[in-house]
Amino acid sequence: MQDKGQRKSVDLFLFLSKTENMNGIENILRAASFAAKKHTDQKRKGNDGEPYINHPLEVANMLVNIGGVDDPDIIMAALLHDTVEDTEVTFDEIAEQFGLTVAGYVREVTDDKSLPKAERKQKQVEHAPHLSQGAKQIKLGDKISNIRDVTDNPPDGWDLQRRREYVDWGEKVVAGLRGANANLEKLFDETVEKARRRLAAAATQS
């Protein structure tokens, strides 16, 4: 016969883990909804004018389904990662709504927009190795998504040279993120390889 005390603690454990999961899912959906509202008037830079929210959704989706990330704070931060950089949202607001851990990740992956663009890009390369594991994984997903866009659906006016330089810069940033998530790194490498093939093919056509 099973010990009653033991049984009870197993039930309690199942209950707690279920509640914890539920809170995770609720908070993740709340973050998705918050990000969608904040990015509501924005489009991706690409010439097909995709709604901006598709990008953070793609990053979060990659983290979970390819990277195997199951920490709700990292998934929430992935959904929110561009809200401070690209909308009027503040870190305080993120902390208040989603907690300090999530706000910390978002802060780690947010560029200082007061700096000139070239300096911001250089800072990303320098900061990458010093990011937390969670922020590194978000950054990996972000770079994969952005390189895909620049390859498949480039912003208006981006010639092949500019697109090549973007891929090269992405690689430099990702060099500092290695070791954070093998599956995402593999996907990044495949994405870069595909991007280079497509850009080379486009160069011979023109």
- The one catalytic residue among 71, 86, 93, 171: 86
Among the residue ranges 64-72, 94-102, 136-144, 177-185, the one whose residues contact Zn ion (CB under 5 A)? 136-144
Among the residue ranges 10-18, 31-39, 81-89, 133-141, the one whose residues contact Zn ion (CB under 5 A)? 81-89
Among the residue ranges 42-50, 68-76, 77-85, 194-202, the one whose residues contact Zn ion (CB under 5 A)? 77-85
- Tell me the C-alpha distance between 93 and 95, whole Å: 5
Q: Which is nearer to Zn ion, 82 or 108 (CB)?
A: 82
Q: Is 58 in the site for Zn ion (CB under 5 A)?
A: no
Active site residue 85: yes
CB of 28 to Zn ion, least distance (A): 17
Do 153 and 46 touch, CB atoms closer than 8 A? yes
Residue number, nearest CB to Zn ion: 142
Among 58, 73, 82, 108, binds Zn ion (CB under 5 A): 82
- The one catalytic residue among 85, 93, 111, 171: 85
CB of 82 to Zn ion, least distance (A): 4
- Binding residues for Zn ion, rule CB under 5 A, total 2
Q: Which is nearer to Zn ion, 22 or 28 (CB)?
A: 28
Among 58, 73, 142, 149, binds Zn ion (CB under 5 A): 142
Handedness of CA 199, 67, 86, 128 (dihedral sign): negative
CB of 142 to Zn ion, least distance (A): 4
Active site residue 190: no
Q: Which is nearer to Zn ion, 73 or 142 (CB)?
A: 142
Q: At CB < 8 A and 24+ separation, what contacts does 67-73 make?
A: 67/137, 67/140, 67/141, 67/181, 67/183, 67/184, 68/181, 68/183, 69/137, 69/181, 71/134, 72/23, 72/24, 72/25, 72/27, 72/28, 73/99, 73/101, 73/102, 73/105, 73/134
Question: Crossing angle, helix 72-80 and helix 91-98, to 10 degrees?
Answer: 150
CB of 76 to Zn ion, least distance (A): 14
Residues interacting with Zn ion, by CB under 5 A? Answer: 82, 142
Catalytic site residues? 85-86
